[in-house]
Structure 1
Amino acid sequence: MPVRTLRLLPSLVLLSALCACSAEVAPGEDDGIEQEQALTDAQQAAESAATPPADGIADAPPPAPTCDASQVQGLVGQSNDEAKAEQARVDAGASHVRVLEPGQMVTMEFDGERLNIEVDDGGRIIALRCG
């Protein structure tokens, strides 16, 4: 073999090895492809969430609460009894009433159709509110 061919042989081996490796996806490029796919998926999910449902249910506003405690604020300071609590419920337009005594444990969920009557230790009304 001529000397010139022997000098080119290592370069050719290196070149062929580089060509064989270039067909594969580099690890950094693979992450980029995954990130692009995740971004595309997120955009599609956002678009589908922004599209209103076909049945139109989402267009309807939530029902307005029926309770209006401003109609019964004149009862503050008066003694409470069942008849007065029922009359306050009717006057406020509430569907039900709850009397809250001092130290009583109560749930904190909001119910726009409920009238809450807060009383002190002596049974006097100290506050009326809906919820």
Structure 2
Amino acid sequence: MPWKLASLGTLLAASLLAGCSNTSTDSAADPVATTDSGHSRCEAKAAEFALGKKASPELLEQARVRAGAQNARILKPDDMVTLEYRSDRLNLNTDANLMITRVNCG
């Protein structure tokens, strides 16, 4: 009898978990899958024009658009940042004088 209950419990758990899975590959259903430019990832090379320039909100937006990124941020040397990787985010790293020293995605 205990084996029947264990088997039934396992079957029930497996069916509940199967109902939670998502096998859809439709990118139209995911609003983060593409950007206005049609790219799903940030292209840091396209934003390298900003190297050596002083960081500003206007420059950040220009770099974001050119890179095809969904989000962008300016990172100062002592800023605390989250470490999760996001392929749709552009980072403009600056020195203490807010001059852009590095452009990368993530």
Q: TM-score, normalised by structure 1?
A: 0.52
Count of aligned pairs between the two proteins:
80
CA RMSD of aligned residues (A): 2.8
Paired position in structure 1 for 2:74:
99
| Matching residue within 87, 91, 97 for 1:112 | 87
Deviation at 1:56, TM superposition (A): 8.3
Provide the rounded CA distance (Å) in 1 between the counterparts of 2:89 and 2:78. Answer: 20
Unaligned runs of 5+ in 2: 1-17, 28-32, 34-38
Letter in 2 for 1:123: L
Unaligned runs of 5+ in 1: 1-52
Paired position in structure 1 for 2:105:
130
Which structure has more relative contact order (CA 8 Å, sep 6+)? It is: 2
Greater helix share, 1 or 2?
1
Paired position in structure 1 for 2:50:
75
Superposition pairs of residues 1-131 of structure 1, within 5 angstroms = 57=23, 60=25, 65-131=40-106
Provide the rounded CA distance (Å) in 1 between the counterparts of 2:52 and 2:61. Answer: 17
Structure label with greater radius of gyration: 1
